[in-house]
């Protein structure tokens, strides 16, 4: 394998320098950072809708329910993802929650929102 060049069309996950330096990214736990990479790995460039159940997040992060849910909550809070459709078990076929990755345009948008670039930590009132 040494010396082989990677193919340009090979699937990959990209994190831009401005994202990595943002206050939102810097505030993420290691679990949330890992989950962001996992969620972005589902993005195909066609539709900005990715599905991931809590159980799948637990499996991919190799953590328990509380930590996986915490990582999802952090990504939502900081503006990296938005919940579009909650998961449900009441249908004939259970389905996982559907998220939008906010670094890419959502349906009908020309420019991505990128709310994580505007996120700032709350000021402490304990001064």
Q: Cβ distance 72 to 114 under 8 Å?
A: no
CA dist 99 and 48 (Å) reads 8
Q: What are the extents of the domains in the chain?
A: 31-117
Burial of 44 (0-12, 13-18, 19+ CB in 10 A): exposed
Q: Which tokens hold the place of 56?
A: 């799948």
Tens digits of pLDDT across the chain (127 residues)? 566 666 666 778 889 999 999 999 999 999 999 999 999 998 887 888 899 999 999 999 999 999 999 999 999 999 999 999 887 665 555 578 999 999 999 887 889 999 999 999 987 555 5
> What's the longest Cα–Cα distance across the chain?
56
- Selected from 3.30.360.10, 3.55.50.30, 3.90.870.10, 1.10.10.10, the CATH number assigned to the domain covering 31-117 reads 1.10.10.10
The pTM for the full model equals 0.84
User: Is residue 33 within 8 Å of residue 26, measured between CB atoms?
Assistant: no
Contacts of 7 (CB under 8 A, 6+ apart): none
């Amino acid at each position: 394998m040494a010396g082989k060049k990677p193919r340009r069309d090979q699937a990959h996950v990209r994190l831009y320098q401005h994202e990595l330096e943002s206050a939102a990214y810097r505030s993420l736990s290691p679990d949330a950072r890992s989950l962001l990479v996992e969620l972005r790995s589902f993005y195909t460039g066609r539709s900005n809708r990715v599905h991931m159940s809590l159980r799948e997040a637990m499996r991919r992060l190799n953590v328990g329910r509380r930590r996986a849910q915490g990582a999802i909550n952090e990504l939502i809070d900081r503006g990296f993802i938005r919940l579009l459709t909650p998961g449900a078990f009441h249908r004939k076929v259970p389905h996982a929650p559907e998220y939008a990755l906010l670094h890419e345009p959502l349906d009908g948008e020309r420019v991505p929102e990128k709310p994580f670039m505007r996120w700032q930590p709350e000021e402490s009132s304990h001064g």
